Amino acid sequence: MSLLTVKNLQQYFPVRGGVLHRAVASCKAVDGVSISLGESETLGLVGESGCGKTTLGKAIVRLLKPTSGSIEFDGHDITRVSTGALRPMRRHLQMIFQDPAESLNPRHTVRDILEEPFIVQKIGTKDERRQWVVKLLDKVGLSASVMDRFPFEFSGGQRQRIGIARAIALKPKLIVCDEPVSALDVSVQSQVLNLLLDLQREMGLSYLFIAHGLNVVKHMSDRVAVMYLGKIVELAPAVDLYQNPRHAYTKALLDAIPIADPTQRRERQLLRGDVPSPINPPAGCAFGHRMKHPKWKESVSMDLTLQEVAPGHWVQPCPCCT
């Protein structure tokens, strides 16, 4: 049984305008996404800026109120539960953000930050909590001596470690990692990625791993989902996706990766045009529309629900892109 099952999730934001500041349209940030995630599994999520990755992540950990669809976590339907009812589940459902500086309170010491999850959940005595904090720091490779320092006194990589320590404090089952290494120096990125891999092995964590860098996503994931304009267009085992991409958008993304090897320079089939806006998205296959594909019109009247084309390899069945 899977740990997380998301069905046909929609997350719309009102777009306000006019003198009355009324909702005049909606931004369909996540528009009918279905995914599942097993125990100790990592699902990678890639796509261009604005395609809805962060929104999907936030909806799953219920930092947002989904517009429609359902989210089942660990056997419970959490789509509409209130914050209060969510609390006991919250400890199993965590999120790490791109910019650790923004998500760590600058006026709190490392000790305050790491003790907080225990205090919120009302567990442990003062002494116990202190011991746990020392253990957590050790787990993420920081020394106990940093406990009374403030976030700004650390480097980006160290701050991300503190963010990870906080996320794993209550032994969660699932962590949504939203671009956890994008803000880090290259030489520090691999330290943090290794830490995430170690913690997964040790604690049996599941990750939804969001990133721009496709090589990073591939390295971290068992399966990868490719998102375009609020929808998943392809989902497959990591290696399979990179070796046999089926959707034109996946191919374009793979093609654009700058490979760190000058002997592998290539002529690219460059994607033209910019990422379209999720406000009033086109009907049918959105990528076919962007590419002005002659067969796009056919896709408008089609059911574009993902279909399994090889074991575990799902793709949008549209006439223009697959």
Partner 1 sequence: MTAASSSILEVRDLVTAFDTDAGRMTAVDGISFNVPQGKTLGIVGESGCGKSVTAFSITRLLPQPHGKILGGSIRFNGQDLVQVPIDEMQKIRGNEISMIFQEPMTALNPVQTVGRQLAEAILLHSGCSKAEVLASSIEMMKKVRIPEPEQRLSEYPHQLSGGMRQRVMIAMALINKPKLLIADEPTTALDVTVQAQILELIADLQKEMGMSVILITHDLGVIAQVCDEVAVMYAGRLVEQAGVFDLFARPRHAYTQGLLESIPRLDSTPKTKLKAIQGNVPGIADFKPGCRFADRSGREHTEAQLNTRPPFVEIAPNHRAENCPVCVA
Ligand X SMILES: Nc1ncnc2c1ncn2[C@@H]1O[C@H](COP(=O)(O)OP(=O)(O)OP(=O)(O)O)[C@@H](O)[C@H]1O
Q: Is 55 in the site for ligand X (CB under 6 A)?
A: yes
Instruction: Please name the residue that has the structure tokens 């050790």.
Output: 138
The footprint of partner 1 on residues 192-221 (CB under 8 A) is 193-194, 197, 212-216, 218-221
67 binds ligand X (CB under 6 A): no
User: Is 50 near ligand X (CB under 6 A)?
Assistant: yes
Q: How far is the CB of 54 from ligand X (least distance, A)?
A: 3
CB atoms within 10 A of CB 53: 24
Which one of 4-12, 24-32, 94-102, 150-158 is the stretch in contact with partner 1 (CB under 8 A)? 150-158
Would strands 223-228 and 93-96 be described as parallel, antiparallel, or unpaired? unpaired
Q: Is the dihedral of CA 139, 122, 96, 198 positive or negative?
A: positive
At its nearest, how many Å lie between Mg ion and the CB of residue 234?
19
Q: Which does 52 bind (CB under 5 to 8 A by kind): ligand X, Mg ion, partner 1, none?
A: ligand X
- Please give the residues from 149 up to 188 whose contact with ligand X meets the rule CB under 6 A: none
Identify the residue among 35, 53, 164, 207 touching ligand X (CB under 6 A).
53
Is 13 one of the binding residues for ligand X (CB under 6 A)? Answer: yes
**Is 52 among the residues that bind ligand X (CB under 6 A)?**
yes
Q: Phi/psi at 59 (nearest 5 deg)?
A: -65, -40
Residue 75 site contact among Mg ion, ligand X, partner 1, none (CB < 5 to 8 Å, cut-off depends on kind): none
Q: Which does 218 bind (CB under 5 to 8 A by kind): partner 1, ligand X, Mg ion, none?
A: partner 1
Among 256, 283, 302, 310, binds partner 1 (CB under 8 A): 256
Residue 49 interacts with ligand X (CB under 6 A): yes or no: yes
Interface segment toward Mg ion; rule CB under 5 A; list 50-58, 191-199, 291-299, 312-320: 50-58
Taking CB under 8 A as the rule, does residue 146 contact partner 1?
A: no
Longest Cα–Cα distance in the chain: 68
Query: Which of Mg ion, partner 1, ligand X, none is residue 41 near (CB under 5 to 8 Å by kind)?
Result: none
**Which amino acid is present at 255?**
D
- Binding status of residue 54 toward Mg ion by CB under 5 A: yes
Binding site for partner 1 (CB under 8 A): 42, 48-49, 155-158, 185-191, 193-194, 197, 212-216, 218-222, 238-239, 242, 252-253, 255-265, 268, 270-272, 274-275
Binding site for ligand X (CB under 6 A): 13, 27, 29, 47, 49-55, 278
Q: Which residues bind Mg ion (CB under 5 A)?
A: 54
